[in-house]
Chain A
C-alpha cells in the first residue's frame, strides 16, 4: 500500500447529479481526509464544510508587458501570437490581456528582449479545516475563460502527499477542466441519476475514464422505484455499482440547506460509511492488480 493517500475523483458528466453530496459526505465520514473542490466556476463544497482558519492564495497567470524603449517595431510578437492578443498600433505592440493564453511565446521570441511578464490574478484558492477534513477550494473570477491554472495549483498541494485519502470534487461535463481534475486520480467515482439526460452525459464521461484507463465505479443517486436507466447502463457495460442512494426528501432538504448529511443523520452516517468501505475495497483491489 502506498504511503501517499489514495486520490479519488468524483465526477458525473451531467450537473446536479450529486457529486458534491457524495464527495463532501465521503470526505467527512473518512474522518481525516482532504477535500478539493475543482469546480472552480461554481464551487459548492465550502458551503457545506464552512471551513475555519481560512488561508487564501491568489492564482495568477503571466501576461506580457512591452518595454517601449527597447521595442524596435519589428512586429514579430504580433505576427506570432496565435490568440490575437497583440495588436500593432502606431508602431507599438499593444497587449489584450483577456485574450492572452500566457504561452510566453512573444516574450521568448522578441529579438530585443523588450517583453517581460507580469502576473494577473484569475482567481484564488482557499484552505481551511472542518472537523478532520482539510478543505481546499478553487474559485475562478467571473469573466475568466479557463480555470485550469487554479486546478493545477489545487492538485499540487504538499498535503496531498500525506497518507490520508483525498476526495476531488470535479466540475460537470467532460471538457479540459474535467480532464485536468482527474489527472493522477487513483480511482474515479461516477455519480449517476436515473434520468435519460443523466445517462446520456454519464456515457460521455465514462468514455473519458476509459480513455485515461482510470479504475472507476458508479454511485446511483436519487434512486426511485421502477426502471433506472443509469443502472441499465452500468449492467450493460459491466461498470461496478458501488452503492445506491435512494431519492429522499429529507436528504434533499439537508442538502439544500448545505448540511452535511452524515453529521446530521444516523441513517446517512451508516450509508456513507458503507459506501466508503466499498470504495476503499475497490481501490485496494485495483491497486493490487494495477500497482
Chain B
C-alpha cells in the first residue's frame, strides 16, 4: 500500500519534518513495490489552511497511511474522511519510519491540535 511522510529532504535518510502542513517535501512510498517518489509541498507558502491543502494532496495520491509527528484537526478531518490512517512517527529517518511501519511497530496518532490557520509550529 501507499504511505506518505512529510520530510525535510528528498531522500530516505531525511529526518521526518516536525511540521506536517509546512514540510518542504512529501515522500510517497509503496510498501509492496518498494518504489519511492517525492513531491514539493505546495502548501508551504500558504497563509492558512496548509494542513488542509497537504491532506488534500495526500488523499488525491491514493495514500492509505500517513506517518507524521503531529497533525492538525482540520487536516485530520480531511484524512479521516478520505480513509487515510494517521500514524505517529518515531524519531529518526524516513527509512527508519518506513521499516517500523512495515514491522507494525507504529501506533496511531491520537492527539490533534486545534486548527492554526497559518500559525502552526
Identify 25 residue pairs between A and B in the complex whose beta-carbon atoms are under 8 Å apart, listed by A's number: A78-B56, A82-B47, A83-B46, A84-B46, A84-B48, A84-B52, A84-B53, A85-B48, A87-B53, A87-B78, A88-B59, A89-B59, A89-B81, A94-B77, A94-B78, A96-B52, A96-B77, A96-B115, A98-B74, A98-B115, A99-B49, A99-B52, A99-B74, A99-B115, A99-B117
Chain B 24-44, CB-CB to A under 8 Å as 1, else 0, gives 000000000000000000010
Residue A145 at the B interface, CB < 8 A?
A: yes
Query: Closest Cβ of chain A: how far from B84's Cβ, in Å?
Result: 10
| Contact call B55/A83, Cβ cutoff below 8 A | no
Residue of chain A at shortest CB distance from B59? A89
Interface size class of A (residues with CB under 8 A): 10 to 19
| Contact call B49/A83, Cβ cutoff below 8 A | yes
Residue B82 at the A interface, CB < 8 A?
A: yes
| Contact call A99/B59, Cβ cutoff below 8 A | no
- What are the residues of chain B within 8 A of A210 when measuring CB–CB? none
Residue B50 at the A interface, CB < 8 A?
A: yes
* B residues contacting the other copy or chain, number (CB 8 A): 19
A98-B78 contact given A84-B46, A85-B49, A89-B59, CB 8 Å threshold: no
Where the two chains meet, the residues of A that have a C-beta atom closer than 8 Å to any C-beta of B are 78, 82-85, 87-90, 94, 96, 98-99, 145
A222 to B113, CA, bound (A): 43
Query: Closest Cβ of chain A: how far from B75's Cβ, in Å?
Result: 9
| Contact call A96/B49, Cβ cutoff below 8 A | yes
- Partner among B47, B56, B117 whose Cβ is within 8 Å of the Cβ of A87: B56
A83-B47 contact given A89-B81, A98-B117, A99-B115, CB 8 Å threshold: yes
- What are the residues of chain A within 8 A of B56 when measuring CB–CB? 78, 87-88
A98 to B78, CA, bound (A): 15
Residue of chain A at shortest CB distance from B117? A99
Residue of chain A at shortest CB distance from B119? A145
Residue of chain A at shortest CB distance from B47? A83
| Contact call A99/B48, Cβ cutoff below 8 A | yes
| Contact call B59/A96, Cβ cutoff below 8 A | no
- What are the residues of chain B within 8 A of A90 when measuring CB–CB? 81-82
- What are the residues of chain B within 8 A of A83 when measuring CB–CB? 46-49
CB-contacts of B53-72 with A (<8 A): 53, 55-56, 59-60
Return the 7 tightest CB-CB contacts between A and B, nearest first.
A84-B49, A99-B49, A84-B53, A89-B81, A87-B78, A84-B52, A99-B117
| Contact call A89/B117, Cβ cutoff below 8 A | no
A249 to B53, CA, bound (A): 54
A87-B115 contact given A96-B49, A99-B49, CB 8 Å threshold: no
Query: Closest Cβ of chain A: how far from B59's Cβ, in Å?
Result: 7
- What are the residues of chain B within 8 A of A84 when measuring CB–CB? 43, 46, 48-50, 52-53
